[in-house]
Structure 1
Amino acid sequence: MDLATLNAFIAVAESGSFSLAGERLHLTQPAVSKRIFALEQQLEVRLFDRLGREVGLTEAGRALLPRAYRILGELDDTRRALANLNGEVSGRLTLATSHHIGLHRLPPVLREFTRRYPAVSLDIRFLDSEVAYEDVLQGRAELAVITLAPEARTPAARTPDTRAPLRAVPIWEDPLDFVAAPDHPLARNGALTLADVAAHPAVFPGAHTFTHRIVHRLFEVAGLTPQVAMSTNYLETIKMMVSIGLAWSLLPRTMLDDQVVRLTLPGPQLSRRLGYVLHTERTLSNAARAFMALLDAQHGQGNEPQSV
């Protein structure tokens, strides 16, 4: 069992396709198939069920996948630990982040990081925050700068699907405001309640997102169900749909301008926490530690990591 074969196995398992795995690994589909066949012969088990164009893991494949992640993770840890010995901040830093944070929060940090550490090659992957959590869990990214899971608000809380220790470090508090187009009926009313807002169509991030859960919980506590007519995970797209009057929504305050109107409602101010997530059982590169230091400086004093 060699590393190239394990990488091919993981690529097929994650993509569900030999051709997509080949694109990821810069190999032809027959080359990927050959590696998988060799691994199956070596282990004397079938790892994938091939039904037409659909590829799925067998029971043996599902058993191998977490072990393959651990093997490659240990190798990456070893490489980073050895590279850290010279004290240099260099090499590759794989960073996952959401589109919103990448556009609105990270630019000054990235600018300063590249100025200070030109020997580091940044590999930035733009993902939904929930997917980025998984990338850190599986070792595909050293750090993720994302919207933190709502469950992380108390030190003892854990997300239900956590399978490995993560640590979430809050950096920015991100207030969320109810918004509508300037000519929307809600914008023309003075005093509004949650019931008033719930009576109109809304556009929300997808139901699996942390932001959706924060907003849905507010209505749930009030015994209301918002009319979610549309959903998208891109906040810039949500803002566009709000601005042309299709629906109301909630947006980070940093995105508000004259295209939308802030709606004033009684009750607590909704907010989400933005920060970074790391795996506590993996060795961090000097580059990752340097990036974390710049992020911590954004927060200022009193920044306490919390377990998730």
Structure 2
Amino acid sequence: MVIMDTGSLQAFVAVAETGSFSRAAEQLFLTQSAMSKRISILEQQLDCRLFDRIGRTVSLTEAGQELLPRARKILLALEDARRSLSNLSGEISGSLSVAASHHISLHRLPPILRQFTRECPEVKLDLRFDESEIAYDNVLRGNLEIALITLSPNPDPNILSQTVWQDKLHYVVASDHPLAKLKQVTLEQLTDYPAILPGTATFTRLIAEQPFAKLNLQPDIAMSTNYLDTIKMMVEIGLGWSLLPETMSEHSLSVLNVDAPPVTRELGYITHKERTLSNAARRFIHLLDQAAEKGS
């Protein structure tokens, strides 16, 4: 019978996710030798090698790939049990891990965060600012309780999504752009000019390309960046057109009257279907639901 301790499993998952013993050690606040020892003990217990170490490259063996999803599930179940027992007290305390996209952090989150910290001063907030896709992946892996993101058009079955804000998107250009002079613009006309959109792996990029794909059109992507404020700056200086949230379509930009259905992306929160939420997470979500009801 093989007995695996949680410390060894945490070390294994950390190395697998970071691809580095040193980065995994930093993440778990261990020395590199302690990290290596934990992995070595686990490999001895399982009687198989979990990582291939070639130079500075660390990669999972076939056995490691087989163990990884099971290790994540075990750690998630243990954390879930701890959280369930802690919830019995009814107190709102402990820690709460939340990630928010940069856009939501700047334009949507502050009033909710202010109210939460005032109502729940005993909660230690672990707040991270990540791209939506990174935060999504961390919830899926069990590393986060809640993520506030641009919701995925095709979420994983283990992800629970709830829309809080409807983010209207506008086609925008600089005030001196040739398209700014036209009373109405078609999607086909937009393809004749350079576009500046988020990266190909982002949810917002998928949403932006859908109207064009329906007409078998392809935008001429001149540049990509995942930071909307950077995109806005590049549009302002005339480097191309973009599709930006209504909240960012200020006087420095011209909003185009495009002959196409309106484009909206859903912003909200996600949790893992199999994770028991802490009392702190439940309270945070309650505030988000209130914001959704108010149409905030």
Look up the match of 2:162: 169
Q: Which of 101, 108, 111 matches 1:105?
A: 108
Look up the match of 1:154: none
Q: Which of 258, 268, 285 matches 1:292?
A: 285
Look up the equivalent residue of 2:33 and give its one-letter code: P
Question: Does the 8 Å contact 1:150/1:272 carry over to 2?
Answer: no
Alignment of 1:92 with 2:95, yes or no, is: yes
> Does the residue aligned with 2:274 lie in a helix, a strand or coil?
coil
Instruction: Report deviation, 1:281.
Output: 1.6
Instruction: Give the number of aligned pairs.
Output: 292
Look up the equivalent residue of 2:20 and give its one-letter code: S
Q: 1:20 and 1:247 mapped to 2: Cα distance?
A: 39
Question: Does the 8 Å contact 1:171/1:273 carry over to 2?
Answer: yes
Look up the match of 2:69: 66
Instruction: Report deviation, 1:301.
Output: 7.2
Instruction: Report deviation, 1:102.
Output: 1.1
Look up the equivalent residue of 1:220 and give its one-letter code: A
Q: Which of 215, 222, 226 matches 1:233?
A: 226
Q: 2:193 and 2:111 mapped to 1: Cα distance?
A: 38
Q: Which of 84, 88, 93 matches 1:81?
A: 84
Which stretch has the larger CA shift, 257-266 or 230-239?
257-266
Q: Which of 146, 150, 161 matches 1:147?
A: 150
Fraction of identical pairs, as percent: 56
**Structure 1, unaligned runs of 5 or more:** 152-158, 303-308
Q: 1:259 and 1:191 mapped to 2: Cα distance?
A: 19
> Does the residue aligned with 1:171 lie in a helix, a strand or coil?
strand
TM-score by length of 2: 0.95
> Alpha-carbon deviations, 1:19-56, whole Å to 9, x = none?
11122122222221121111111111100111111111
Q: Which of 239, 247, 257 matches 1:254?
A: 247
Alignment of 1:186 with 2:166, yes or no, is: no
- Structure-to-structure mapping, 1:2-151, within 5 angstroms: 2-151=5-154
Q: 1:54 and 1:87 mapped to 2: Cα distance?
A: 46
> Does the residue aligned with 2:59 lie in a helix, a strand or coil?
strand
Look up the match of 2:205: 212
Look up the equivalent residue of 1:145 and give its one-letter code: L
> Alpha-carbon deviations, 1:153-198, whole Å to 9, x = none?
xxxxxx4xx2x52211111100000011111222222321111111
Look up the equivalent residue of 2:262 and give its one-letter code: Q
Q: 2:65 and 2:266 mapped to 1: Cα distance?
A: 34
> Alpha-carbon deviations, 1:125-148, whole Å to 9, x = none?
222212222211111011111111
Question: Does the 8 Å contact 2:187/2:260 carry over to 1?
Answer: no
Which stretch has the larger CA shift, 130-139 or 90-99?
130-139
Instruction: Report deviation, 1:250.
Output: 0.5
Q: Which of 212, 215, 224 matches 1:222?
A: 215
Q: 1:23 and 1:247 mapped to 2: Cα distance?
A: 42
Question: Does the 8 Å contact 2:172/2:255 carry over to 1?
Answer: yes
> Does the residue aligned with 1:145 lie in a helix, a strand or coil?
strand
> Does the residue aligned with 2:38 lie in a helix, a strand or coil?
helix
Look up the match of 1:306: none
**C-alpha RMSD of the superposition:** 1.4
Q: 1:62 and 1:19 mapped to 2: Cα distance?
A: 20
Which stretch has the larger CA shift, 26-35 or 268-277?
26-35
Q: 2:59 and 2:134 mapped to 1: Cα distance?
A: 20
Instruction: Report deviation, 1:236.
Output: 0.9
TM-score by length of 1: 0.91
Q: 2:19 and 2:273 mapped to 1: Cα distance?
A: 29
**Structure 2, unaligned runs of 5 or more:** none
